[in-house]
Each structure stands twice: as C-alpha cells, then as structure tokens.
Amino acid sequence: MVDDLDTVARYAMALGFSIRNRTVLVEGTTDADLFHLAARLEHEAGRPDLLGNDLAIVPAGERDLGGASGVIRELVGLRCVARTCLLPNGNPRYRFIGLFDNDKAGRQAVYTLRHIDTSILEYKDVFRIWPVMPCPQNLDPTSMQKIFESENGLYKGMEWELEDMLNPDFVRAFEAEYPDAVTRTFPVEGRVHRVFTWDGKARLHRFVKQHAMRSDLAGVVEVLKAIRFYLRLK
C-alpha cells in the first residue's frame, strides 16, 4: 500500500519509477529494455537472476525527458531525497547511480553532475559504458579510473553505446536486412561503434526483441554483471 512506502519510494512512484535498494538510471527505455531482456534470457538459461529483488534498471524518461540530461535531472533529485531515508545503522537505504553512453553527451553529463554536486564521483556514482567494463578488486574511484583507462587503452576516444555490446554477427545480420539503418561505422581494434539513423535504431531494437538469443546479448550481460560488482551486489 502507498501508506506503507517510505519517502523515497513515494517520490519514485510519483515519477513512475519502479526502484529497488540499488537502482541504475539509464538514458532511455531502449537501454532498459536491453538490460531486462538480457537478464531474462540469462535467467531462463538457469543462471542467477541479475535483476531480482536487489537491482532495478530505470529509464530516466522517454524521448525529450530521457537522454543524458534526463539522467542528470532524476539522479540529483533521487539522491537528495535518499539522504532522508536511512537504515538503523545510519547508512542510506537506497543507492542510485547513473549510467551514460560513452559519447560527447555522456562525458558532458558526468562533468555537469560533478559541478552540480561535488559528492558525485565518476566510477562510483556515475559510469560510462566502455568496450571493456573491468571488475577490479579495488573499487576506489581513483583506482577504478586508472584501470578503466588502462583496460580500454586501445579504444581511447572511441564513442561507445550499449547497442555496441551486441554480438557483432547479430548486428551484421540486422544490417543485411536493413542496409540503410547505419550511417557510419568506426572500427577500432576489432570493436565497431555504429551510428544509426533514428529509425534504424528503432528497427534494431525491434529486431533484438524478435530474434535475439542469449548469446547475442552476452556483452549486455557482462555490463550488467559489472554494474552489480560496482554496487557490491553478488
């Protein structure tokens, strides 16, 4: 019942968000759909449920309400409200992080958040999607930054999105069926970042829902596992 909800849960419900104690804000519904599909296929294969009751993936909004600016807006608001909801030991009951594409907008969003709230740290409270999402033993943000940059040294300056984590053979099959969906490709050391038309990206996500198997979403699963690791979840 609504009366049983704490302040944070009430606030999230008013926004239409289904949160957990650990919640990741992503730029749009397509990102959230990819994560949910990957988690479902992984669970149906007899693997642990990567979302379950302890982690939620929530899109910041649809269309103009989403994107990097949407994540900034909702992350700041949710973090402020979460400060009022503590466990008996004094620790926050909720933790919210933001996940951005590794593009100009994502980099600018991280920069903006740091200036809005200096307590927000990259590699702790906000992350960008990289070709390699390392899981080091030391989760100190400074150490994390060095490891991220080292592990992704071959891809320095390369833009990267969640769709780039799809199985390359699967994406090539999509391109064969929709040759006008991609406007540019940027191959670097065996990885490829694709720039889709607006309609092309929508077609890709419909293609994923219709045809993707667990192996096609293995890269998305790895991102989800990394996020759980950063949040200290099993």
Give the whole-angstrom CA distance, residue 228 versus residue 189: 27
Query: How many structural domains is the chain composed of?
Result: 1
pLDDT of residue 219: 98
101 within domain boundaries: yes
Contact between 83 and 77 (Cβ < 8 Å): no
Residue 183 pLDDT more than 60?
Answer: yes
162 within domain boundaries: no
86 within domain boundaries: yes
169 within domain boundaries: no
181 within domain boundaries: no
For the stretch 110-132, pLDDT in tens is: 999 999 999 999 999 999 999 99
Would you say the pTM of this structure is higher than 0.75? yes
Q: Say which CATH number the domain at 42 has.
A: 3.40.50
List the domain range (segments joined by +) for residue 142. 2-155+217-230
pLDDT of residue 234: 82
27 within domain boundaries: yes
Give the whole-angstrom CA distance, residue 5 versus residue 61: 22
Contact between 97 and 127 (Cβ < 8 Å): yes
182 within domain boundaries: no
Contact between 28 and 36 (Cβ < 8 Å): no
**How many other CB atoms sit within 10 Å of the CB of residue 151?**
15
Mean pLDDT throughout 73-81?
A: 96
144 within domain boundaries: yes
pLDDT of residue 231: 97
Residues 6+ apart with CB under 8 A from 7: 81, 84, 85
For the stretch 54-68, pLDDT in tens is: 999 999 988 767 899
Residue 1 pLDDT more than 70?
Answer: no
8-17 long-range contacts (CB < 8 A, ≥24 apart) are 8/78, 8/81, 8/82, 8/84, 8/85, 8/93, 8/94, 11/77, 11/78, 11/81, 12/78, 15/74, 17/56, 17/58, 17/74
> 34-58 burial, b for 16+ CB within 10 Å, e for fewer?
bbbbbbebbeeeeeeebbeeebbbb
β partners of residue 55: 22
Alpha helices by DSSP H, listed for 83-140, are 104-116
Give the whole-angstrom CA distance, residue 214 versus residue 209: 11
Mean pLDDT throughout 163-188?
A: 97
Element (H, E) at 133: none
pLDDT of residue 65: 72
And the tokens for 11? Answer: 């606030």
